[in-house]
Copies of this chain bind each other. A is one copy, B any other.
Amino acid sequence: MKKELTYAVIGTGALGGYYGGMLARAGKDVRFQVRTGYETVKKEGLFVESCDGDFRLPRIACCQKTSEMEPVDVVLVCLKTTANDLLPEMLKPLLKKDTLVVLVQNGLLFEEELSAALPGTAVAGASAFICSFKVAPGHIRHCDFGHISMALLKNTPAAGGILETVCADLSASGVRAEREPDLAALRWRKLVWNIPYNGMTVVLETSTDKIMRDPATRSLAKDLMLETLLGASACGVSIGEDFVEKMLAYTDTMVPYAPSMKLDYDAKRPMEIKGIYSNPLKAALEKGTDLPKIRTLERLLYFKQNEYLKES
């Protein structure tokens, strides 16, 4: 019989709390790193209020720092990418030969950056299609969707069949999880939604439904999606224009929604501008492709962020 995988979840928030919680509920070996509110979570465990049914895990294996944790087979990194500078150091105590690190994050090029910082480590990326947020330490609210797509970084050290097993474990835990062949394609497809809505909801201090209702911003959302397709194409990822129509229609069906960047902005936290804007712009520009509308939004976002980060 095959050995069960051991998991570490870094960051027990909207994503880590949900996906890690689902795996733990299903009996998988999951250890959580909980930075904020560690004492509470240690004592009270995890509570996931979910549109698919609430559940409570009264006791979970958790530590405040990764240096207190053991090496594992799989690390699910569920931190904001704004903390990625610290990631190599945080990961080191968790790594053994063949550990697979999965970045359950938004944005482009972070897998490449991590792989460069930790040569020899197997790296994958995952895009979560989910509406969820952290209500309080150990208390996650999952409002809508929930599926997750994963892909190995190109030329990553052979991670064997681990990623397949991760997908199987998630599926067995009640999460729709699928493995994709191409990480760049996975990342760019997610950007088609993230680029227009994250930035516009922040710059205009509004929500997705209002953007969709106003003809000016509805057309700009579409333009930004089409520019994202250009960037993807420059990087060798082909996405059809029908995908743009699908994303617009999908957004129309959503409840009025504040994307994660808008939540960060409202809370005056650093925003994921690098992964969602600067890195895609850089990747496209390296292939000679300019994305001027996305660049405009990126510039405006840095101004918005500098306004409050300089204050603090």
Contacts and interface: CB of A to CB of B under 8 A. Distances in A.
A128 interface: no
Given A292-B292, A293-B292, A293-B293, A299 B217 contact: yes
A42 interface: no
Interface in A260-312: 292-293, 295-304, 306-307
A302 B223 contact: no
Interface residues of A, number: 27
A296 B299 CA distance: 12
The number of times this chain is found in the oligomer is: 2
A220 B215 CA distance: 25
Contacts of A211: 303
A311 to B, nearest CB: 13
Contacts of A301: 216
Contacts of A303: 204, 206, 211, 214, 216-217
A215 B292 CA distance: 17
A238 interface: no
A299 B203 contact: no
A165 interface: no
A268 to B, nearest CB: 16
A219 interface: yes
B306 A216 contact: yes
Contacts of A304: 204
Contacts of A300: 200, 203-204, 216-217, 220
Contacts of A297: 296
B203 A306 contact: no
Contacts of A299: 216-217, 219-220, 223
Interface of A: 200, 203-204, 206, 211, 214-217, 219-220, 223, 227, 292-293, 295-304, 306-307
